[in-house]
Amino acid sequence: MESEIRSNILVVDDRSENLFLIEATLDNLDVNLIMAESGSEALSKIKDIEIALALIDIQMPKMGGIELAEIIQNDKSREKIPIIFVTAHHQDEIEIEKYYNSGAVDFIQKPFKKNILISKVKIFLELNRQKQQIREQKYNIEQTANELKEFNRLLSKRLNYENLLSKISMMAVSMDNIDDFLDAVLLEMGVTLNLCRSCIIKHRHETNTIDMTHEWCNEDIESLQKNFQGVNSDDIPYWTKTLKKGQIHNFSDINDIPDKGVIVILIPKKVLSILAIPLFVRDKYYGCIGFNNCSEHRIWSDSDVEFLLSISRIIVSVTERDMAEKELKSSLEQLHQLSKHIEKIREEERISIARELHDDLGQALTAVKIDLGIIRQKVSDKVLAQRIVKTSALVSDTIKTVQKITFQLRPKIIDDLGLEAGIDWYAGEFSERNSIEVILDLDSDIKIPPDISLVIFRIMQESLTNVSRHAKATKIKIQLIKNNNYIDFIIADNGIGISNDKLNSKTSFGILGMRERADSIGGTLDISNCEGTENETGTSTQLKIPLNSIS
């Protein structure tokens, strides 16, 4: 039987551009991509073909991704296929449960990070490679009867390894916390491989020291972790130098280790043999994964080491993924802080402009109006007097416009009378200006600081502007209520609603701005279609703020 040279990956998406993107992302992997634009095409193409992994789009016409997954997994003629759903929509817990119930092992959100997708795919390619090796071994044992006993022993061992690898692979895609993942891996390996200790040792490049960051010990084995903290790499030069070069340490007798500094640490803990496999994260030496035996001078075979290398690669992939996620989170936090800073500057500029309009332009216009009144009393020419009256009226209108602009720039009523008064005033102005009925349901007992009140007010302004421009509504209800540990601010209209395209568009800057404002005060903003008054479809904008954010 010939070994599988290239693993088959099924990719199903009804949009050719998505297929092209995934194909380009996986271009450097030595795999055979089976591309399909529908569920029926996918089922036709994978008939009698072994699939290492399936990447399936959720939303497809005719046969959706979940239905396709169920058909594939219910096929008794083939082994279960690891399925990763690819979706562009935000999923709640109910939807996620449906994915797993249909036979999926994971899902990834569009737009996806290329390195995350590649990392997940590599895990299942490694799993498939191990399966092919087992299948090849099984085939050989059936052809050679005189090797049956030995082969059964090897197969049993290999199956145990395969189960361990499968379990670790599943943990790699299901566990979010890197420390929990590493602790779980060390536990599973320690128990399955009958070890006294398994551990992760990290090299600190900035201090040139090594620390044992994670450790699992058998119940009757004393911990080594405290002894392996801040060890100077210069005190164990052979250990550090060879591992950095990628050399595996496989000592059945620790007395053979050239570094006496390592022996001094291990002997008091009754360690007899040791295996250390170097880890390289992002092509840089990271440390090693170590295995100790205290009951025997264990000799690790080449196949044992190869299997452990497979697990080490999974550990590296998860570590790299964790780094990427943390870097992304840090970048998003920096963007968030920048957005808050920009918004703060904008508010300060609004205050400055409003003050100048009120103090300088407003007072100047008032003085002009007074002077015009004085001049009017002294002018006898009727035509000139009439022009002065018209000019005075124009100045009065300009003063009102300046007052209106000043309020828009900085609603001082919020500082003086609070959010409720500000909402009441603005809603009245909006209703009169747009001929839209506005109903208020505001809890007077809710006390909100001015800075948060201003954010709520700005979100209301943007939301009402959207209603007046797009909703074709005749009625709006604004609520400010306390709901358990949250404050809910809701604006619901009875208009024509909003399409998902506009809701999720990256160019909907008004919506993006409202969400940024909500995030700046620790809140969340949800915009959705709803059943409005008189059973008409409308839009609901809900701002949810935790009480601890305003205390």
Which distant-in-sequence residues (6+ apart) come within 8 Å of 528 by Cβ? 503, 539, 540, 542
DSSP β-bridge partners for residue 8: 32
Please compute Rg for the chain using Cα positions: 34
Contact 53, 81 (CB under 8 A): yes
Fold assignment, 424-549: Heat Shock Protein 90 (3.30.565)
pLDDT at 387: 84
Distance CA 457, CA 45 (A): 57
pLDDT at 517: 83
pLDDT at 203: 93
Q: Residue 262: what are its φ and ψ, rounded to 5°? A: -70, -40
pLDDT at 280: 95
Which amino acid, one-letter code, is at 515?
A: R
Chain centre to alpha carbon of residue 179: 18
Distance CA 231, CA 263 (A): 13
CA angle 343, 347, 353 (to 5 degrees): 140
Helix, strand, coil shares of the chain as percentages rounded to 5?
55, 20, 25
Distance CA 193, CA 270 (A): 18
Distance CA 462, CA 309 (A): 56
pLDDT at 343: 66
pLDDT at 369: 73
Handedness of CA 325, 327, 333, 339 (dihedral sign): negative
Helical H segments across 93-227, by residue range: 93-101, 114-143, 148-174, 178-192
Fold assignment, 1-171: Rossmann fold (3.40.50)
Distance CA 217, CA 225 (A): 10
Domain coordinates of the chain in residue numbers?
Answer: 1-171, 175-300, 424-549
Contact 235, 261 (CB under 8 A): yes
pLDDT at 1: 45
Which distant-in-sequence residues (6+ apart) come within 8 Å of 533 by Cβ? 475, 477, 494
Contact 441, 491 (CB under 8 A): no
Contact 81, 51 (CB under 8 A): yes
Q: Collapsing DSSP states into helix, strand and coil, what is residue 28?
A: coil
Q: Residue 532: what are its φ and ψ, rounded to 5°? A: -90, -160
Contact 448, 456 (CB under 8 A): yes
Are the folds of 1-171 and 175-300 the same?
A: no
Distance CA 347, CA 308 (A): 58
Distance CA 185, CA 314 (A): 10
pLDDT at 2: 47
Distance CA 345, CA 203 (A): 44
Handedness of CA 88, 92, 96, 98 (dihedral sign): negative
How far apart, in Å, are the Cα atoms of 281 and each of 148, 315, 511?
41, 9, 39
> Could you name the CATH architecture of 175-300?
2-Layer Sandwich (3.30)
pLDDT at 533: 44
Handedness of CA 106, 110, 116, 120 (dihedral sign): positive
HSE, side-chain direction, 13 A CA sphere, residue 284: 7
Q: Collapsing DSSP states into helix, strand and coil, what is residue 493?
A: strand
In the chain, which residues have pLDDT < 50? Answer: 1-3, 532-535
Helical H segments across 467-536, by residue range: 500-504, 509-520
